[in-house]
Structure 1
Amino acid sequence: METIVDKERIDEALELIWVLAEEGHNELDRFSLSSDDPDTNLLTKALIDQDLAMVSDNTIQLTEKGRKTARGLIRRQRLAERLFSDVFEMSDDSVVDDACKMEHILSEELTESVCTFLGHPPTCPHGKLIPRGDCCKKFKIEVTPVVTRLTEFEVGSTGKITFIVPSDPSRISKLNSLGISAGSIIKLIQKKPSSVLQIDETTVAIDHE
């Protein structure tokens, strides 16, 4: 009879086995000690029953089925971390916590879109490899992200504002009054000490947050 364990517990276990393998470890004892699960014996049995992992002596390894599932989870989590860190500039703690939630709900189609949006990043903010997806295989070189921060813009470049994420939400109204809003076409005239933007016939200076 197959051991029934909550899917989220299974997912967390698969991710842990993947991460430990990245670090060069496949010891069952290490897996048990590293897991936050309340019953790792039951969890391990469930992994075996569902053909997601195999145990031999004191080692635990993912099966082909388990590796495929874990790969998807790791890919979604690390892409979410990159999205939250690079685009929304969230704190490291929030990045990790929210990415862990996102990995369970992102569809394959949305994951591919996020990856393309970010320019197929090779690593997460912590330097760990992001498993490549089908969208990445279409490119032989890394492509430029669809969205770039203003601070990474080159002087003289022209672009369209996709969205604004200020540290203080009250700045949105001020920026809007200057003609700086989503959809605006801007040209970067100067980067330091302040960013100087040209919007139509208007030139605006913005202090860096």
Structure 2
Amino acid sequence: MADGKISENIEEYLEVLYRNGSNREQVSTTKLSDELGIAPGSVTQMLKKLENLGYIKYTPYKGASLTDDGMKIAQKITRKHRILEKFLRDILKVKEENIHSQACEMEHALSDEAERAICTMLHNPDLCPDNNVIPACDFDFNSCKECYSQTDFDKIINRKFNLLSVSELTSDIEGTISFIRGNDELLDEILNLNIRVGAHLKYEVNDNDGENHYLITVDDKKLDIPVEMANNIFIGI
């Protein structure tokens, strides 16, 4: 348990909810039961507990969706899991079939400081080995360049709202660009399109089911961006 306050069991539930409903879609009790390998009755009891804690909205016989508080926890633990998978494969050369289980064991104990160090070592990765988007960190930076410039971890503050990458958005979501991830080269490519922190972004349509390009509107200008950019441009939600 990374912060000493939230149980691993709760983190696992929120992680599954995020994996299946990052845009706050309702996830069925059956889906949760299947993925967690837990009886539906036990899942229902936990969902009621999570609702009382303020982490989810629960509708009997239908399912649950994340609240802002639940989303923050879910994104943090999902990020740690996926960045650990990347670290285990690319740096430690752990066998492919062991990566997921080992990341599951490690994610709950990984401190935010260690997570940041791994992210820096890996040069701010956007995808885990399964090609799922790694959520942005919740540090209050506009870009990775700002993160590099702050050498004292104790002076870093956390962002007060959640983020989603363009590649995670659905057609009815829009917001303000609040973080852009990547190295100097990628940041320059994005800025050359006049995509910047503070601009208003609206997701328009997904070309080829999101495999290659994303059509967005940024401050009333339509842009067709590649998936690499879409994975690294985040709006506040």
Q: Which category of TM-score, normalised to the shorter sequence, fits these structures?
A: 0.5 to 0.7
Alignment of 1:1-209 (within 5 A): 7-22=7-22, 26-38=27-39, 39-56=42-59, 58-133=62-137, 134=139, 137-139=143-145, 142-143=182-183
Give the gaps of 5 or more residues in structure 2: 1-5, 146-179, 185-237
Q: By how many angstroms is 1:13 displaced?
A: 0.5
Q: TM-score, normalised by structure 1?
A: 0.60
CA RMSD, 1 decimal: 2.4
Bigger strand fraction: 2
CA distance in 1, matches of 2:22, 2:100: 18
| Cα pair distance change 1:42/1:59, threshold 3 Å | closer
Give the gaps of 5 or more residues in structure 1: 1-5, 145-209
SS in 2 for 1:106: coil
Per-residue CA distance 1:81-116 (angstroms, 9 max, x = gap): 000000111112211111111110011111111101
SS in 2 for 1:54: strand
Q: By how many angstroms is 1:29 displaced?
A: 2.7
Q: Would the aligned equivalents of 1:9 and 1:37 in 2 still touch at CA under 8 Å?
A: no
CA distance in 2, matches of 1:73, 1:34: 17
| Cα pair distance change 1:100/1:22, threshold 3 Å | same
Per-residue CA distance 1:153-185 (angstroms, 9 max, x = gap): xxxxxxxxxxxxxxxxxxxxxxxxxxxxxxxxx
Q: Would the aligned equivalents of 1:81 and 1:124 in 2 still touch at CA under 8 Å?
A: yes
Give percent identity, aligned residues only.
Answer: 24
Q: Would the aligned equivalents of 2:124 and 2:144 in 1 still touch at CA under 8 Å?
A: no
Q: Which stretch has the larger CA shift, 56-65 or 29-38?
A: 29-38
Q: Which of structures 1 and 2 has the bigger CA Rg?
A: 1
SS in 1 for 2:64: strand
